[in-house]
A and B are shown apart, each in its own frame.
Chain A
Amino acid sequence: MEKENKAKEGIKGWINPAKYGKFGIERFAWILMRITGLGLLAYFIGHIYETSHILDGKAVWDASLEMTQTTEGHIFLAIVIGMCVYHTGNGIRLMLGQMGYGLGKPGRPDYPYKPKSLNMKGKACIYATIGVAALAMWYGMAVMFG
């Protein structure tokens, strides 16, 4: 058996913010994807539970709705909107990449090497997705706070 000393960085390797500067926005996009995925899953489970109150009559339904009618509730929902938009947008970028679009064409690499797959198009997509997610959050807040 291999010794496990330092054989893995562990979760530190994922989270360590020092990495993102050195490794570029793609890695940040990945960790954000993961966090939003988990966040959405948590929200989704909660959402299913919440909507099940519809079976318990109007009083219970309204009471459970109350919870999100507060300021914190609105902020929470706004975050969910943001997560959803980011996760969707970035998910579409990833899927396009994984289908082979937007990666550039393989070919003889010339020094100094610049990886074609980490190109401006992809980076722009990530920034745009983050931007759109922020806009959506802002719009959602505007609607909710009326």
Chain B
Amino acid sequence: MTDSIEYDLIIAGSGLAGLRAAIEAAQKNSKIRIGVVAKTQVMRSHSVSAEGGTAAVIQEEEGDTIESHIYDTVKGSDFLADQDVAERLCQMMPNEIYQLEHWGMPWSRKENGKIDQRNFGGYSFARATYAIDKVGFFEMQTLYDTCQKFDNIEFLNEWFITAIIHDGKQFCGVTAIELSSGSFYTIKGKALIIATGGAGRIYSYSTYALSSTPDGLDMAYRAGMALKDMEFVQFHPTGVLPSGILITEGARGEGGYLLNKDGERFMKNYAAGKMELAPRDIVSRAMMTEMSEGRGFNHDTGVQCMKLDLRHLGDEKIKAKLGGIREISIKFSNIDPAEEPIDVRPVCHYMMGGIHTNIDGAAELQGVWAAGEAACNSVHGANRLGANSTSECIVWGKITGSIAADYIEKEYNESQFPGHLVVAEEKRIYDGIFRGSGEVNPYEVKQEISDTLNDKAYVFRNEADLISGLKKIRELKTKTWKHVDDKAKEYNTNFSNVMEIDSMIRVAEVLLIGAINRKESRGGHARTDYPTRDDANFLHHTLAYYDPNEPIMKKHPVTITKYKPVERKY
């Protein structure tokens, strides 16, 4: 018998989406017990790394409109966004900015005391709301601290969820390992919100926290829910060398230049209208093109890079508005941006894809919702605009928290708990992984997975590369790396790491197959062998369902309301 605990609402993941959902549900109904379960300590989620801004229309007097935010989002998505979803995001966001503000968010202000906003890529108005350049950090703090007000929110710090348990019709609970003690638990619940964030660590050059692995996506996938649009990965133009830590788009929003070897602002050749503030897919492709055509710089680690020049902003402005990246740049690449341009190159930054949900964040299984980066409600389509992701987390955190609380109160019916599935899961992870044996070092396999994706499915892709990448991943599947050398129970991160690697393989496979199938270039997915967008054949979402042999791929229509797809030019 495994130990068992019980909550009404389980929230998997404690990033912006998870915490926002917890607050909303707690507020909605003070009688439901909410368990926020995270494999990191709650406030240490990846969301703390978000830097530049949160998009919202709050300056309507100054001429911004919600309509314009919607259109920018849809156009940025290369018309793959579901337009009703984008509309929902833009309409709900302004209120959320003020709500965060009332909870204590230290937004940067204008002299007159109002909340300030800055420019961001792909927008036709400066609408990225910011707090220096540590937006995600401050938002996390605001939400985490606000959670402390509620007695019905409980935090389960450092609990690794391994699987979702359901009876075929509705959600019943999850299984999880409490890292500090190493005990395996069943957590029973009436509803689940998956907010396990992005999976960018499947690439080796990545802005993500080291904890951003696809285990959350994978558990939904294994439980029978679809992963949607996984081939769309965003590469951020400015990851600092050599670590890949992000230099926010806000740096360009505040007026930074991108320069090539000839000291030229090369973006004028790619997006003359928006220059450095074109959407990220376009800027990243421009940088890769410049480098491959020999106009890049050689970094002392041997990698090609471009320069991001902030010197003309001056020391004071850099300190006031970009203090975070100043610190990062000085510490992690020995460059003071006031004195020298920063060495940057495109870096894996965001997964447009995720768990397939509808506009309300409901996943395909009754009682399960997904929010934040783990979810794909198709608000970002083929390419997300900067600052729209923290917005998404907050809006769908709120929506799912509210709907899930209602569901628990009004719709949920008790059902028989399928205990045998817990036994099967225990067998899977303890016999299949913990007590496994083999020669191959799992950490080397992890490196190989991420190197493979880095080599074969980066900014520019082609059929041959993608297929060889898929071969490589499938070959790794057969190697004997599923074993845990650390035999202790307590704080066994070796164990959780191997489970993470296990999930990386499955999700990498879905990503590659999706990319192979999509024979066009759209948003973040750029094929050199099919360089144009093909609306006739590919204006649809990709769904992938789990099957022990090979993922089952399906198509899903795009919701188009007002805006007919047109050529995307900046």
Contact = CB atoms under 8 A, between A and B. Distances in A.
B319 to A, nearest CB: 5
Give the interface residue-count category, chain B.
under 10
Chain B, interface SS category: helix
B331 A111 contact: yes
A110 B133 CA distance: 13
A112 to B, nearest CB: 8
Contacts of B440: none
A108 B133 CA distance: 12
B132 interface: yes
Contact of A108 (B319, B327, B330, B331): B319
A112 B336 CA distance: 11
B326 interface: yes
B94 interface: no
A111 B320 contact: no
B240 to A, nearest CB: 15
A54 to B, nearest CB: 61
Nearest to A110: B319
B104 interface: no
Nearest to B326: A111
Interface in A97-134: 108-112
Nearest to B316: A110
Contacts of B330: 111-112
Contacts of A108: 132, 319-320, 323
Interface string B222-260: 000000000000000000000000000000000000000
Contacts of B323: 108-111
Contacts of A111: 323, 326-327, 330-331
Contacts of B326: 110-111
Contacts of B319: 108, 110
Nearest to B319: A110
Interface string B323-340: 100110011000000000
Interface of A: 108-112
10 contacts: A108-B132, A108-B320, A109-B323, A110-B319, A110-B323, A110-B326, A111-B323, A111-B327, A111-B330, A111-B331
Given A109-B323, A110-B323, 7 more contacts: A108-B132, A110-B319, A111-B323, A111-B326, A111-B327, A111-B330, A112-B330
